[in-house]
Amino acid sequence: AESEKHPSALLLELCGLLQAEVPHYDWVGFYFRNGNKEELKLGPYVGDPTDHTIIPFGKGICGQVAVSNSNFVVPDVKAQDNYIACSIHVKAEIVVPIFVGGENIGQIDIDSETADPFTDADIELLEGVAAAVATLLESQGISDPAAEL
């Protein structure tokens, strides 16, 4: 049963499902606030391995979302000054924060090798995913996902 699966396995499956179902999703993963530190830690993901397993708050697209608490849609990564490149093939990125109890505890991050691919439909989908992940974390009593997932 799904309930017997570890939440990290569920999140990994969710990444794989999104990558398989949406043609313009190439790298799909989670970053979570690393305990009390002002940094993000890489969680479950699918796609090319990344060196950026820790991202300080404020750095890159992900680090900016950690402090802005807002979605960040990047149609063209080359136009961004504050950007951390994980792969030379990536053309666009979208990051949607995950809120538990009103707190920004992490994010879903998607890289695309397609130029300017994201629309309101992606935002709607990913806000739904973020809300579902928040519910999963809450229901499983996972208060420190960076340590537990």
Binding site residues, ligand SME, CB under 6 A: 27, 50, 52, 55, 60-63, 83-84, 86, 93, 109, 111
> Between residues 82 and 143, which has the closer beta carbon with respect to ligand SME?
82
- Widest CA span of the chain, in angstroms? 45
**What whole-number distance in Å separates Cα of residue 137 and Cα of residue 149?**
10
Smallest separation (angstroms) from ligand SME to the CB of 93: 5
Q: How far is CA 128 from CA 3, 43, 81, 115, in A?
A: 20, 19, 29, 24
- Please say which residue, 55 or 146, places its beta carbon nearer to ligand SME: 55
> Cβ 9 to ligand SME, closest distance in Å?
20
Structure tokens at 91: 């053309």
Of the candidates 32, 20, 46, the one whose C-alpha atom is nearest the C-alpha of residue 104 is 32
25/138 with CB nearer ligand SME:
25
Minimum separation from the CB atom of position 87 to ligand SME (A): 8
CB of 35 to ligand SME, least distance (A): 19
83 vs 125 by CB, closer to ligand SME: 83
* Bridge partners for 72 per DSSP: 95
Residue closer to ligand SME, measured from CB, 27 or 118: 27
Write the secondary structure of 77-115 as one string of H (helix), E (strand) and C (coil): HHHCCCCCCCCCCCCEEEEEEEEECCEEEEEEEEEECCC
Q: Which residue is nearest to ligand SME (CB)?
A: 60
- How far is residue 112's CA from residue 133's CA, in Å, rounded to a whole number? 21
CB of 138 to ligand SME, least distance (A): 25
